[in-house]
Chains A and B, each alone.
Chain A
Amino acid sequence: MNVSPRMTVALTLILGVGALAFLPWWGTVFDSRFPTSFELRIVLRVMIIAIVVIGLNILVGAAGLVSLGHAALYGFGAHVAALLAVNAGLGFVPGLIAAVLGTAVLGAILAYPSVRVRGVFLAVITIAFGLVFVNILREWVSFTGGASGIPGIPRGELFGMRLSPAQRDGFIYYYVVLFFLALAFALQYTLLFSRYGRAMRATSQSENASRALGVSVIRTRTLAFVISAGFAGLAGGLFTYLSLFVNYESFQFNQSIQFLLMTILGGAGTLLGPLVGAVTVFWATVLLQAFEEWQTFAFGLMLLIVLFAMPRGIVGSLQDLLARRGARPRMRETSDWPHWTPELEAVIRPIEGRPDAVLKLEGLTLRFGGLTAVDNVDLAARPGTVHALIGPNGAGKSSVINMISGFYKPAEGRILLMDQDVAGTDSAAMAAAGVARTFQNTELFGAMTVLDNVMVGFHSRYQSGLLRTLVRVPAARWEEAKMRRQALALLDFVGLTDFADERAGALPFGHQRRLEIARALALQPRILLLDEPAAGLTHGEIEDLIRLISLLAEKGLTILLVEHHVDMIMAVSDHVTVLDYGKVIAAGTPRQIQDDPRVIEAYFGHAAPGAEARAEAAGGTVDVSASAANRGAAE
């Protein structure tokens, strides 16, 4: 049995909202005392908390970051709404907007400096913020009232209706909160299943691959936290207009831990997890009340048990169970590749204009401390050609690739992409500008599907911004469908169509290489950098790869190829540059290079006068990497 996320959302919204909408009238319809106004208030509280947890779920489940300050963000939203209502007479709607925006801005201030270094540091910053926030609320009595808090917040009004949850007011506030919960739930879905959600998951799995695909890790993580903080602010504002009184007690560190527990217990990254988690933990709180001082202990213990026994949470574990029961094991079909289809014309296109070189390196130099890894390298890759970059191990080939793709900053020299100097540009920006690359050790988003891996590659090509994506305006839906078609075409191109919904990490090695190439092509690159694409492939796969590279060049793509495999270099490259100890020692056509004494010396050393003859005799099939490895061993 497989329930699509779309169906989950639709069903939950219809059934859940329906049931919750009916709940207040249960007593009237069935003539019972249930639910009392006290019980309704509890449901209201849980709904508000669920909004916080939905926000936290986006942060933890998608972006893989931890916040231990969400109670404080929730409290911040509550205090913004409360202070504006009491001191400035602001009404419900503007107060709520201020709470959301204010908390989101605060989120940006907290997140940006910390996620720049390491995602983990965000957790430290958020706890610290939480503690300081409560301290300030407690001590700054003249502004926040200290322990006596801010009382006397006027009840909100909307279109002349009193926003009260009482029956005589038609439970109107109850429905307001329900509306926002449904909205939050729907937004969670549209976000997680959009390019932004994919980007968040991508950054949590491989920072390098994300950057190489034009996804800025810092921006994506900051965005995740800002959105998450916005949800907390919204919930805070709603809380203020429910309780009409705020003080620091509801927003302490323990509450942050509870929010986190709700997220993890429900199932981080799942759609229903936040709802299940919020209800379960809230219910547990009521039960644990009897334990008094041991209550906190029990929460710690619960969190620990969940992490050991059910790391995917209640909903995640159930999903796994359902998937396992419903799975029919089958062989997946690997198709022939490369497989060109007309669909691909839209993705792989010759570059506009006729520049004499797509990429030009001028005097490129890189130093690690005292070591010059790349020394004054010049190179020009002409449009629609394959330019090979070869050299013994440690010659600086990968360093050149890393500089072109923005991972390393060159010490000197220029990198001209379409005649524009881009040296030192950040890697994500380089990718967006059309420099695509693969990695020597494949870097896939292992827990994401094969299709989603390619979809991440399209990230920088979308036109629809965050708002349009979240609201799913027709243009955004159309765009998503178009990208999906192109992604499937790319999978078809490398023969992986049948694997589209498989986890990328479960692919055999050769298929991972193919996927990485398809993903890089999704950037619609001006130049494709392949870093030892043949390493680890079987003989047959290498022949397919050779055909793929030739085909791409024929279609007008420019390729810079780092490779050891001589057959492949001879077969596909139009031009070869040879590096040794970071310097260009030869450049020319494959033929010229093969006979160049300097190249032979670099690979075989001085004591190999017969090397040239041997290489000739073997028809040029000497495996250069093996010889280079020998040299490395001899040193």
Chain B
Amino acid sequence: MGNNMQFLLSGLSIGGVYALVALGFSMMWSVARAANFTHGDIFMLGGVLTVAMFAAGLPLWAAAPLALVIAMVAAAAIERFLVRPFNKEANAIGWMLTTIAIGVMIESFATATYGPLPRPLPSPLAAEPIFVAGAGVFPQELLLPAVAVLAMLALYVFQRYTRTGQAIRAVATNRVAAGLMGIDADRITMFVFAAAGGLGALAGLLIAPVIQATTTMGLLIGLKSFMIAIISGITNPAGVVAVAIAFGVAERFIEGYLSTSARDAFGFTLMILVLLAFPQGIFGRKEVSKV
């Protein structure tokens, strides 16, 4: 029983990470029908930059926001210079290749400068575990799913009630028509990529005190989150967050009762099967292709 509670709690935590990163994929995909393929590296930067700047003597309250800003600028630059010029025609694949290339560069650059080993980040919320039904957990861990749900709700409110948010929805629905209504679709897209980068980096710096930040933590998290976004129906933020958190919990249980490799094998097989059963994702709606 205590074990199960432990699995549940840490599953919620990793699920929160998936949710934040996957939410970014969902946002990017909605407006651009493309994404920063190595969004996972933006997530990594959030954690790694905070640790590096904190180690360089910056106080935490300055290092964390600064890391967020740098990650967002990087995400915006990736959109402007690597996605936009390579996403001109339908079925374009250039953006995939350019963002993978930059991802490889970011990761190896970080590894060469920051070091290959995980480095810890102190946090007031990860100092003393609290106990829930016999399972120990850092408050920091529980912060993640809460932040993910809040981010999703904030996104909803933002898209519903602000001018920029409505412009985002317009671009997501019909880019050309949005352009004709005077919306600068390119700027909106860049803004969304930056915002998505911000959410990803936020997940990175929030999880850093729990798992210790490494430069290689982005690849797998980014990828799984992209797959989670796909199987949940990539343009549905609430669905993405729900599936991501459920997936995180399921993973922890499989890992706990079987093994780490079983976790990944199961997770992957599950995703393929879900995609077979729901081609548009669990909560996705079929895009009506206008002929």
CA distance A359 to B103 in the complex (A): 54
Partner of B261, one of A112, A139, A205, A207: A139
What residues of A have a CB within 8 angstroms of the CB of B289 in the complex? Answer: 207-208, 407
CA distance A297 to B102 in the complex (A): 9
0/1 string, A104-122, CB within 8 A of B gives 1? 0000011011101101110
Say yes or no: is B254 at the interface (Cβ < 8 Å to chain A): no
Say yes or no: is B259 at the interface (Cβ < 8 Å to chain A): yes
What residues of A have a CB within 8 angstroms of the CB of B90 in the complex? Answer: 206
Say yes or no: is B132 at the interface (Cβ < 8 Å to chain A): no
Say yes or no: is A260 at the interface (Cβ < 8 Å to chain B): yes
Please determine whether A117 and B260 come into contact, CB atoms closer than 8 angstroms. no
Tell me the minimal C-beta distance from A71 to chain B in angstroms: 14
Say yes or no: is A132 at the interface (Cβ < 8 Å to chain B): yes
B residues 208-227 near A (Cβ < 8 Å) are 219-220, 223-224, 226-227
Partner of A296, one of B37, B108, B272: B108
Range of interface residues on chain A? 35 or more
CA distance A11 to B289 in the complex (A): 45
Please determine whether A257 and B100 come into contact, CB atoms closer than 8 angstroms. yes
What residues of B have a CB within 8 angstroms of the CB of A408 in the complex? Answer: 291
CA distance A470 to B162 in the complex (A): 58
Q: Are A64 and B93 also in contact (CB < 8 A) when A121-B230, A296-B104, A307-B98 are?
A: yes
Binds B, one of A298-306, A332-340, A478-486, A515-523: A298-306
Binds B, one of A90-98, A123-131, A533-541, A604-612: A123-131
Q: Are A304 and B101 also in contact (CB < 8 A) when A116-B279, A140-B261 are?
A: yes
Please determine whether B227 and A402 come into contact, CB atoms closer than 8 angstroms. no
Binds A, one of B164-172, B183-191, B198-206, B263-271: B263-271
Say yes or no: is A136 at the interface (Cβ < 8 Å to chain B): yes
Say yes or no: is B112 at the interface (Cβ < 8 Å to chain A): yes
Please determine whether A68 and B220 come into contact, CB atoms closer than 8 angstroms. no
Determine chain A's interface SS by DSSP, over half rule: helix
Please determine whether A66 and B93 come into contact, CB atoms closer than 8 angstroms. yes
CA distance A408 to B223 in the complex (A): 34
Say yes or no: is A38 at the interface (Cβ < 8 Å to chain B): no
Please determine whether B261 and A257 come into contact, CB atoms closer than 8 angstroms. no
Binding site for A on B (CB under 8 A): 34, 37, 82, 86, 90-91, 93-94, 96-98, 100-105, 107-109, 111-112, 219-220, 223-224, 226-227, 230, 259-261, 264-265, 267-268, 271-272, 275-276, 279-280, 288-289, 291
Please determine whether A297 and B224 come into contact, CB atoms closer than 8 angstroms. no
What residues of A have a CB within 8 angstroms of the CB of B91 in the complex? Answer: 64, 119, 204-205, 207
Please determine whether B111 and A293 come into contact, CB atoms closer than 8 angstroms. yes
CB-based nearest B residue for A137 = B261
CA distance A347 to B280 in the complex (A): 39
Q: Are A132 and B264 also in contact (CB < 8 A) when A208-B289, A253-B219, A294-B112 are?
A: yes
CB-based nearest A residue for B113 = A293
Binding site for B on A (CB under 8 A): 60, 64-66, 68, 109-110, 112-114, 116-117, 119-121, 123-125, 127-129, 131-132, 135-136, 138-140, 204-208, 253, 257, 260, 264, 293-297, 299-301, 303-304, 307, 311, 368, 398, 402, 407-408, 439
Please determine whether A128 and B261 come into contact, CB atoms closer than 8 angstroms. no
CA distance A129 to B227 in the complex (A): 11
Partner of B102, one of A136, A139, A300, A368: A300
Q: Are A293 and B112 also in contact (CB < 8 A) when A140-B261, A208-B291 are?
A: yes
Please determine whether B94 and A304 come into contact, CB atoms closer than 8 angstroms. no
Tell me the minimal C-beta distance from A527 to chain B in angstroms: 17
Determine chain B's interface SS by DSSP, over half rule: helix
Ranked nearest first, the 3 interchain pairs of A and B with the lowest CB-CB distance are A300-B104, A139-B261, A300-B105
What residues of A have a CB within 8 angstroms of the CB of B86 in the complex? Answer: 307
What residues of B have a CB within 8 angstroms of the CB of A264 in the complex? Answer: 97
What residues of A have a CB within 8 angstroms of the CB of B96 in the complex? Answer: 66, 120, 123
CA distance A294 to B110 in the complex (A): 10
Please determine whether B275 and A117 come into contact, CB atoms closer than 8 angstroms. yes
CA distance A171 to B146 in the complex (A): 65
What residues of B have a CB within 8 angstroms of the CB of A125 in the complex? Answer: 227, 271-272, 275
CA distance A402 to B290 in the complex (A): 10
Tell me the minimal C-beta distance from B152 to chain A in angstroms: 21
What residues of A have a CB within 8 angstroms of the CB of B265 in the complex? Answer: 132, 135-136
Write 24 A-B pairs (CB below 8 A) sorted by A numbering: A64-B93, A113-B279, A117-B275, A120-B34, A121-B230, A128-B271, A131-B223, A135-B260, A135-B264, A135-B265, A136-B261, A136-B265, A139-B259, A207-B91, A207-B289, A257-B100, A257-B104, A264-B97, A304-B105, A307-B86, A307-B94, A307-B97, A307-B98, A407-B291
CB-based nearest A residue for B99 = A304
Q: Are A65 and B93 also in contact (CB < 8 A) when A128-B223, A300-B103, A368-B288 are?
A: yes
Tell me the minimal C-beta distance from B290 to chain A in angstroms: 9
Partner of B230, one of A124, A296, A307: A124
Tell me the minimal C-beta distance from A53 to chain B in angstroms: 15
Please determine whether B101 and A120 come into contact, CB atoms closer than 8 angstroms. no
Please determine whether B275 and A114 come into contact, CB atoms closer than 8 angstroms. yes
What residues of B have a CB within 8 angstroms of the CB of A295 in the complex? Answer: 108
Tell me the minimal C-beta distance from A296 to chain B in angstroms: 4
Partner of A300, one of B108, B223, B227, B230: B108
Please determine whether B100 and A68 come into contact, CB atoms closer than 8 angstroms. yes
Please determine whether B261 and A135 come into contact, CB atoms closer than 8 angstroms. yes
Please determine whether B261 and A402 come into contact, CB atoms closer than 8 angstroms. no
Tell me the minimal C-beta distance from B244 to chain A in angstroms: 15
CA distance A307 to B94 in the complex (A): 8
What residues of B have a CB within 8 angstroms of the CB of A402 in the complex? Answer: 291
What residues of B have a CB within 8 angstroms of the CB of A205 in the complex? Answer: 91
Please determine whether B275 and A113 come into contact, CB atoms closer than 8 angstroms. yes
CA distance A300 to B102 in the complex (A): 6
What residues of B have a CB within 8 angstroms of the CB of A204 in the complex? Answer: 91
CB-based nearest B residue for A65 = B93
Tell me the minimal C-beta distance from A212 to chain B in angstroms: 9
CB-based nearest B residue for A408 = B291
Q: Are A109 and B288 also in contact (CB < 8 A) when A116-B279, A207-B91 are?
A: no
Partner of B279, one of A117, A257, A300: A117
Partner of B227, one of A66, A128, A303: A128
CA distance A232 to B94 in the complex (A): 23
Please determine whether A301 and B275 come into contact, CB atoms closer than 8 angstroms. no
CB-based nearest A residue for B112 = A293
What residues of A have a CB within 8 angstroms of the CB of B94 in the complex? Answer: 307, 311
Please determine whether A299 and B104 come into contact, CB atoms closer than 8 angstroms. yes
Please determine whether B97 and A297 come into contact, CB atoms closer than 8 angstroms. no
Please determine whether B261 and A131 come into contact, CB atoms closer than 8 angstroms. no
Additional 20 contacts, C-beta under 8 A, given A207-B91, A293-B112, A304-B105: A66-B93, A68-B100, A113-B275, A116-B275, A117-B280, A123-B96, A124-B226, A125-B227, A127-B223, A128-B224, A131-B220, A131-B264, A140-B261, A293-B111, A297-B104, A299-B104, A368-B288, A402-B291, A407-B289, A407-B291
